[in-house]
Amino acid sequence: MEDILTIGGREINNRLFIGTGKFSSYELMRNVLECAEPDVITVALRRVDLGSKTENILGYVPKRCIIMPNTSGARNAGEAVRIARLAKASGAGSWIKIEVIQDNKYLLPDNIETLKAVEALVKEGFVALPYMSPDLSIAKRLVDAGAAAIMPLGSPIGSSRGIKTRELVDIMVREIKVPIIVDAGLGRPSDACECMEMGCAGVLVNTAIAIANDPANMAKAFKEAVIAGRAAYLAGLSSTRICAAPSSPLTGFLR
Amino acid sequence: MSYYDIYLKYKNLPLEKLFCNISPLDVKTAIEAERQSEFQFLALLSPAAENYLEDMAQRAHDLTLRHFGRTIQLFTPMYLSNYCENQCAYCGFNSRNDIARKRLNLKEVEKEAEFISSTGLRHILILTGESQKESPLRYIKDCVKILKRYFSSISIEVYGLTENEYAQIAAEGVDGLALYQETYDEIIYDRVHKQGPKKDYMFRLDAPERAAKNGIRNVNIGVLLGLNDWRREIFFMGLHAKYLQDKFYDVEIGASVPRLRPHVGDFKIPCVISNRNIAQIIIALRIFLPRLGITISTRESSKLREGLLPLGITRMSAGSSTKVGGHTIESHEGFNVPQFEISDTRNVEEIKAMLAAKGYQPVLKDWERLIPLYIMIIIAIVN
């Protein structure tokens, strides 16, 4: 059976989503996208210069990709809503990664403002994918508000610390019915693999690829890790346990 | 509370002695710490740290890559007016200097804007001398109205404003502020600012805070290197930046460390700062404040600017001129005295090519001014 992720009515084969910031050139970014063949990429609207031919980042994104603009720079729900509308008006489609950040030091999202933005934007017909700090109740509210997927952070943006929020994300994977896509903080392909083994629907990676010595091959490594992790999840991982299973059980006499 | 309260806490400490007492072990611990205390920042600025510059540079480079990637944001200054009521000993616009004074009219502003935006830049920094009479807030606002059509981000480097004035200018579309204390030392401050409104140390010290509180989203502070002992000055500037970051966590805080350059007038530069010192400053700032924006000015040579890039720089100016109307009209008229001499005179294309060769993406646009809802609706209807 084919394993296809569906978000907002679009079929997604490649569960590695890629962020487009931090690359040393647009050509390199294009090269990475051609190597890793993501179905979904995200781009900050603040970086898009539609008026410029050579400097328009969107001109370097392969046609096959779903472009998911993000609301980077928004400090509250109102600003996120306005950026989303601007993205739509400029022809970037109706997908939007909602990013509401008031904290410039750690770039951690504001869940409450994020929820308000999702509520407003879904009503306007957007396919909303909110970036959030993992929290089950907020995630449930985001789903109720119509979020197409939930994007909890693994650790702070750019930190490469991996999936430090594992316990919280794990609970969300079990309880939330829309796809969970871990976004931010994944430093190594093995981190991405771990997320997929847990049952996440996908991961979004930017920094770890963009600042690698060889971004194209790093992107490939992430792509393969995501495939491996997904395959392991589907195949059914044996549950791990801390203790060894003793060959002479203490309660054997009760049998 | 103001940053002044924090400044007072440290001001009377024997900082020179503390700098000299830093041991190699203090430096190593400071480099490796997960987060650096004020004391560890001091260690990174110390003479002992000079022997560990390479280790520090590696850490600073790693932090810069993580937080900002291989990108450098570009902007250019646009001088609107050189009328000035101040007598700053180090500045070419000093009101006592006998130079031709000029203020761009709105047509000239538009001409400059057209030219600069044709280079692809979307971030602009507008500057005036300090004269409420010749370049009042109303004039600056009129200029901003024009510039908004050409640029997605507008920063101002003008005289300090009141809270209400910052709110007004932010509402007009200004998102960034550059305002340098020049020196945190009150005695030197008083001595080099001989006359004029800038003499008010406290009003200037609190200006970044007033701006951050009133809708300016990008606040840049700085010291003018050469006026005083640099270790001391950078220590106080670093603490100032941290204070602003902690207090206004939704505002991007940045810093600049311009070195005194030759200019019209007879001011002798009191303290010499070497290229090695500049490198140490940028590295120490990056390690102490990983998310701090750091701008390197065209006052520095192209070679030094390129060398400093990977150590923590996030922004640089390109195609700079420090003359009023310097982008399009200065050559036709006789008022071509710059505020200070620039060293890196390369234009936007040349800077872009240099960045590409060094493995950096020049970012010409990194902001989107949010337009009012009714304009959005018009766009939607037109589409």
The per-residue pLDDT for range B135-183, each reduced to its tens digit, is 999 999 999 999 999 999 999 999 999 999 999 999 999 999 999 999 9
Q: How far apart are the first and last CA of chain A?
A: 42
Q: Are B69 and A207 inside 8 Å of each other by CB?
A: yes
Question: Residue A82 to residues A107, A124, B229, B233, B373: CA-CA distances in angstroms?
Answer: 20, 12, 47, 41, 8
In the β-sheet with A16-19, what is the strand arrangement from edge to edge? A151-152, A127-132, A95-98, A66-70, A40-44, A16-19, A202-205, A181-183
Burial per residue of B207-231, b for 16 or more beta-carbon CB atoms within 10 angstroms, e otherwise: bbbbbbebebbbbbbbbbbbbbbbb
Give phi and psi for A101, each to the nearest 5. Answer: -130, 125
What the block records as the tokens of A35 is: 């190597």
Q: Do B366 and A47 touch (CB under 8 A)?
A: yes
Lowest-pLDDT choice from A37-41, A225-229, B143-147, B363-367:
B363-367
CA distance, residue B363 to nearest chain A CA (Å) = 8
pLDDT digits (tens, 9 = 90+) for A94-106: 999 999 998 888 8
* Of B202, B168, B180, residue with least CA distance to B130: B180
What's B28's DSSP letter?
A: H
Q: Which two tokens stand for residue A50?
A: 């539609």
The mean per-residue pLDDT over the stretch A89-117 comes to 91
Domain count, chain B: 1
Contact A86 B245 (CB under 8 A): no
The model's pLDDT over B34-43, given as tens digits with 9 standing for 90+, comes to: 889 999 999 9
Structural domain span for residue B108: 3-382
- How near does any CA of chain A get to the CA of B270, in Å? 36
The amino acid present at A220, given as its one-letter code, is K
Picking from A25, A47, A48, the nearest residue to B356 by CB comes out as A25
**Contact call for B66 and A159, based on CB within 8 A:** yes
B267: pLDDT strictly greater than 80: no
Best mutation target, A28, A49, A81, A121, to test chain B (most B CBs within 10 A): A49
Q: Of residues B338 and B124, which shows the higher confidence score?
A: B124
Q: How far apart are CA A46 and CA B152, in angstroms?
A: 9
Interface confidence (ipTM) of the complex: 0.77
Given a cut of 70, whether residue B380 has pLDDT beyond it is no
CATH number (domain holding residue B88): 3.20.20.70
- Report residue B332's pLDDT band, with 50, 70 and 90 as the boundaries: very low
Residues of A with a known catalytic role: 97
- The per-residue pLDDT for B383 is 54
Measured distance between the N- and C-terminal CA atoms of chain B, rounded to whole angstroms? 50
Average predicted confidence (pLDDT) for chain A? 90
- At B100-115, the pLDDT tens digits run 888 899 999 999 999 9
| pTM, full prediction | 0.86
CA closest to B252 among chain A residues = A104
